[in-house]
């Protein structure tokens, strides 16, 4: 990682987009977006509602395909990799995490089952510890967990997939302040100790301010500003200025 002029420039970005556009229902939703998510950093992806943030994350793990441009995961074009391997490598966690019927252990076993493997007792216990959940929850009905606990199980599933890149879409939006803090701490810990690259969409600019090391600001399907907090704050784009006014500091 080079840091030149305060700008974070990753020589080998986790994800790079090159002129990416996406259309649906005759509408341009993502418009020629080029940029990168630096390896081993938390990028806060911010912007007004409808800016195209969720659509961008779906493009980055191959759930949808661009109509134009290229997406590279660790230097390799997404289309040249199998959809399963992309989805394994690039995990995604959403605002609410659906649990399958059954115990927490059964939910943790799911990603391994999809690869024809089984979850050992030791692996289940170690994974619960990695995400800060008591192992006594392993035998509980997953659908009875609290919102924060479900988010941790969902993060645990990506760890069992050995995802090296984690895309987070508003994962704390429906949590109480103490669960929110726990999830923030967990993600920062995973980034620090396991070198996982994080792209985190949040509407909460105070949260972006706390966790973001690099920022993407999207407005109207375009990437209007990227960089460090200082660079975003110094943006000359009127929409960016209005959006971050007084909050990132
Ligand atoms: N399949 C689709 N067909 C038509 N329009 C779509 C489709 N998917 C997304 N859009 C539109 O594209 C725009 C961007 O949507 P997206 O969900 O990516 O925004 P967002 O930045 O995540 O917004 P929010 O902050 O509210 O979650 C919106 O206007 C949305 O209505
Ligand atoms: Mg969204």
- Does the residue 82 lie in any domain? yes
Q: Give residue 28's domain range.
A: 2-98+143-244
- Does the residue 81 lie in any domain? yes
Atom number in ligand 1 closest to CA 55: 18
Domain harbouring 53, CATH code? 3.40.50.300
| Stated pTM of the model | 0.93
- Does the residue 52 lie in any domain? yes
The predicted structure's pLDDT at residue 6? 46
What value does the CA radius of gyration of the chain take, rounded to a whole number of Å? 18
Q: Tens digit of pLDDT for each residue in 221-248?
A: 999 999 999 999 999 999 999 998 866 6
Confidence of residue 37 (pLDDT cuts 50, 70, 90): very high
Residue 29 beta carbon below 6 angstroms from any ligand 1 atom: yes
Residue 55 beta carbon below 6 angstroms from any ligand 1 atom: yes
List, in order, residues 6 or more apart from 92 with CB less than 8 Å away.
57, 61, 63, 158, 166, 167, 168, 169
Ligand 1 pocket test target in 46, 55, 174, 239 with most atoms within 8 Å of CB: 55
- Does the residue 105 lie in any domain? no
- Does the residue 187 lie in any domain? yes
Nearest by Cα to 139 from 105, 99, 190: 105
Domains contained in the chain, number: 1
Query: Distances from the Cα of 169 to the Cαs of 57, 83, 93, 104, 180, in angstroms?
Result: 8, 20, 6, 22, 14
Q: Tens digit of pLDDT for each residue in 169-208?
A: 999 999 999 999 999 999 999 999 999 999 999 999 999 9
Give the mean pLDDT of 134-152: 97
The predicted structure's pLDDT at residue 17? 98
Residue 223 beta carbon below 6 angstroms from any ligand 1 atom: no
- Does the residue 66 lie in any domain? yes
- Does the residue 234 lie in any domain? yes
- Does the residue 117 lie in any domain? no
Helix (H, G, I), strand (E, B) or coil at 209: helix
The predicted structure's pLDDT at residue 169? 97
């Amino acid at each position: 990682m080079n840091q030149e002029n305060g700008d974070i420039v990753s020589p080998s970005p986790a994800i790079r987009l090159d002129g990416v556009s996406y259309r649906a229902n005759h509408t341009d939703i993502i418009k020629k977006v080029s940029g990168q998510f630096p390896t081993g950093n938390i990028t806060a992806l911010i912007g007004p509602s409808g800016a195209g943030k969720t659509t961008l994350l779906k493009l980055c793990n191959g759930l949808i395909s661009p109509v134009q441009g290229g997406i590279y995961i660790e230097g390799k074009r997404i289309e040249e990799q199998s959809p399963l391997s992309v989805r394994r490598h690039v995990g995604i966690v959403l605002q609410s995490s659906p649990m399958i019927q059954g115990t927490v252990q059964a939910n943790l076993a799911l990603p391994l089952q999809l690869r024809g493997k089984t979850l050992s007792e030791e692996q289940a216990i170690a994974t619960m510890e990695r995400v800060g959940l008591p192992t006594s929850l392993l035998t509980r009905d997953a659908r009875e967990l609290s919102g924060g606990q479900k988010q941790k199980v969902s993060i645990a599933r990506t760890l069992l997939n050995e995802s090296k890149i984690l895309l987070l879409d508003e994962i704390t939006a429906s949590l109480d302040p103490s669960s929110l803090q726990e999830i923030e701490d967990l993600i920062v810990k995973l980034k620090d100790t396991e070198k996982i690259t994080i792209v985190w969409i949040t509407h909460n600019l105070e949260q972006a301010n706390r966790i973001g090391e690099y920022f993407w600001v999207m407005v109207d399907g375009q990437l209007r500003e990227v960089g460090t907090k200082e660079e975003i704050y110094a943006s000359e784009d009127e929409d960016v200025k209005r959006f971050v006014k007084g909050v990132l500091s």
